[in-house]
Structure formats: structure tokens, C-alpha cells
Amino acid sequence: MAGTLLSGLTGLNGCSKVEPTRPNVLFICIDDLNDWVGCLDGNNQSLTPNIDRLAEEGMLFTNAHCSYPLCSPSRISMFTGLNPATTGTYDNFLPLREAAPNAVTLMQHLRAQGYYTMGTGKIFHMEKPDPLSFNVEFQPGFRSAAPPNRPVNGLNLHKYFDWGPVDVPDSAMHDTAVCDWAMQQLEREYDSPFFLAMGLFRPHAPLYAPTKYFDKFPKETIQLPEVIDNDLDDVPQLGRDMADSIHWHQPVKKSGEWKAAVRAYHACVAYADAQVGRILDTLDQSPHHDNTIVVLTSDHGWHLGEKERWHKETLWEEASRVPLIFKVPGLTQANTQSDAPASLLDLYPTLVDLCDAPQRPEIEGRSLLPQLKDPAAKRSEPALITNGEGNYALRDSQWRYVRYADGTEELYDHQTDPNEWTNLADSPDHAATKTRLAQWLPVH
């Protein structure tokens, strides 16, 4: 396969037959994947049989959220175990080692504990290598095929804000090459436990995928997200600014491209799911099947017109909720779920626990090991989501509380209002709920 090895193979003994005593880890991160997967019931038209199969084989966190709804801040937070408010990482422009020069990443920590660490695809933003994290890192030397005569949607809003089918086989897509390399690593023997991270770019925009995936979703059958008129009327100005409906949503509505965009998102998710199926099939057939933890998640969600928003970078459910699945041999029970609030910040301490490595004192997440042992185990701490300096959301098992930098607020009861249509923040009846949740806001 064409591509570039970004660091050496030091420490690998491909001929060894020694079985590692500590578990391996296969970590799958899918970019911009919201709750439109079958096991999360986010959209009943989604086709994700392989992600759903993994959820059936392991444990699904149904209330998992990113720490920041943007690629680089989310990934830096996820792999350093530090909140964006701690590192001051609020955009895509600050690389990992500038944002957190002294941080020890999850992979770096496990590597120091004897793990052989490998990465491919989008792990850190823009697929920037991190030699401190990985013994070996591979990136394909090409980008995915694209349709001619772009933009396909005719909107000319942004080079990435486009969608449409590409008449090519899967092999012409970047993520297929990423998956190919990861599969090859699973077929090898190792003389130490390994950590293999595979990052898929789709369904990140532009929403291009092979035609066969679009064919699974005839345009005339596409259902639009459930929305209401004037949804933003009870939202503070900073929230309306995040929605930015004039810039994105109104042109999509006026052009008649809304269904085409939803169709394209479904197609890209189906394509990504096919790659997940390939890597899971390879693991099942490999000698590592019985001793490999599988974790699947996304860096954040994505809006497709809900709250008049396209893109991410809001403090609402569509931008923060992500799939989070663990399959831990000998620990997780098949087809189990936890509704306890979980954060991607919790992945670092959880995997450190599962890999029998020492915890690091600076880590700000909390291990999900109690929930993995007992899906009914509760958590008092809500998931914290940041979007820009001083803007936060807190999500527990029932409520989403939003506080903006200017002190304005939103509060939604997910038991009665899962679409977050009615802002209860000004109701005296819910003052105690706001006070209880506000104690978890960052103080620095």
C-alpha cells in the first residue's frame, strides 16, 4: 500500500508468539458522528449494522458527550485527559504540543508502561503525527476521490460544505486505506500488548461517499430532522450566534438541498460503518480476538438543521452527544447499556484502569470502570461540554444546563423535552436544579 510511515518500528518483533498478559486496545474514532446510529435511536433511517453489532457484543453508553464540539479541542482533551478550560484550547489552530506542551497523552503513557502503540488516520486534528504518542504511525498518501463540478450542491458557502455521490469503489476512499493498514496490524504477532488507534474521517464534510452508499437512501424517502419554527426565540443571543442560521441554515432551506444533505450524511455514515465492519471482522479472525478491548466513539456530534444549525460548535445535544461503546473481554456483558452521563474526558482514566497502568494525578476525567462492571451504577458528576472561553453545558441523566460567558442560561428537561425546544432557565421552579449543576462548572 502506498503511504508514509511516520516513525520507526522499534520494539516490534513480528515473529514472536508470546501472548501478552495485559489486554490490547483497538480504539476506533469516527469524525463528526452524532447519534444517528441504530443503537442510539438518533435517526430511524440510519444503516449502521456493524456499529450496532459491536454495541450488541459489548456495552453502550447512551448518554456520552464530547468535552468540546470541535475536532482539535475534543481530541486534545480526549487524549490528554485535560479539560479545554485547563489547556485553553478553543479552536483548531493550536497543535497538541503547543496547546499542552507538558501533557502526557494516553498513548504516550501506555507506551511508557510497555505498550506498543500504533496510529493511523485522524487521531489528532489534520492527522498531524505525534512521535511521542506512537511507536509507529501511518497515513495514506492520498485523499478521497471527489465528484466533478464541485460544489455539487451549488451553494458555494465553504469548500467543505458540499455533498454528493462519487462513482468510485471503496478503494478510492482515504478511510479505506486507513482501515487496510489497521487490519494488517491486527494480523501480526507482538511480543507486548498493543494499542492500535484508527481514525476515520467520514462522515466529516464534504459529504462524499461511493454511489452505492447513496443508493441505500433514495432521496424521496429521506426524512428531515424534527424541528419547530421559532426554536431560537427563547435562546440567549450567544446561543443564537452559535446557531448562525442566516449563514448556513437559510441558504440550505432556500436551495431545496436539505434532504440531499441528510441523505449524504446517511451515506457517509454507512460507508464509515462498512469500514468498522472490516476491522471488526479482522479482529474476530485474528489471534488477538480474546485479549483485545474495543472502544468506538466520535470526537463530537453534528447538526443537520436542528436549532437552525449546520456544523458543530454549539452547546446543544446534537453537537455533543456521541456513540461510546466498550467491548472488554472478561468484563463487559453483551448487549448492555448505561445511561449514566459519560464524557470523552473519561476515556483516558478508564483505559488506564483496564490496561493495569498507574493513573496520572493531573487527569481530570473519571474512570468508567464502575459502569463497565455494573451498567446500573450511577454517577453524580454530569458531563461537561465547553464551546469557547467561558461557555459551558452540563448534562446529567435528565437535564442539560447551559451557561454562557455573559451569564445567560438555558435549561432543558430531557425526560419531557428531548429536542430541547423549551428553555426552562427562567422558571423559579428549577432554580435548585441550576444551582446543583452549576457546582460542576470550571473555576479556572
State the Cα–Cα distance between residues 234 and 272, nearest whole angstrom. 36
Q: Of 39, 66, 71, 355, which residue is the catalytic one?
A: 71
SS3 assignment, position 118 = strand
Cβ-based neighbour number of residue 1 at 10 Å: 9
CB 217 within 8 A of CB 123: no
- Per the annotation, the verdict on 300 as an active-site residue is no
Type and span of the H or E element at 77: helix 71-80
Q: Of 125, 174, 288, 303, which residue is the catalytic one?
A: 125
CB 205 within 8 A of CB 161: yes
Grid coordinates belonging to 238: 450567544
Nearest alpha carbon to residue 368 among 316, 298, 295: 295
Grid coordinates belonging to 214: 447513496
State the Cα–Cα distance between residues 299 and 192, nearest whole angstrom. 28
Strands 116-121 and 136-139, bridge-based pairing: parallel
SS3 assignment, position 220 = helix
Q: Mind giving me the DSSP string for 230-272?
A: TGGGGS-HHHHHHH-TTTTHHHHHHHT-HHHHHHHHHHHHHHH
CB 185 within 8 A of CB 287: no
CB 351 within 8 A of CB 293: yes
The pair phi, psi for residue 442, each rounded to 5°, is: -60, 150
Nearest alpha carbon to residue 293 among 200, 201, 357: 357
- Per the annotation, the verdict on 71 as an active-site residue is yes
Q: Using CB atoms within 10 A of its CB, is residue 70 exposed (0-12), middle (13-18) or buried (19+)?
A: buried
CB 338 within 8 A of CB 40: no
- Sequence letter at residue 423: N
- What beta strand segments (E) does 1-124 contain? 4-5, 24-30, 59-61, 64-65, 116-121
In angstroms, what CA-CA distances link 124 with 27, 56, 74, 152, 336?
13, 28, 9, 29, 30
The residues that are catalytic are 71, 125
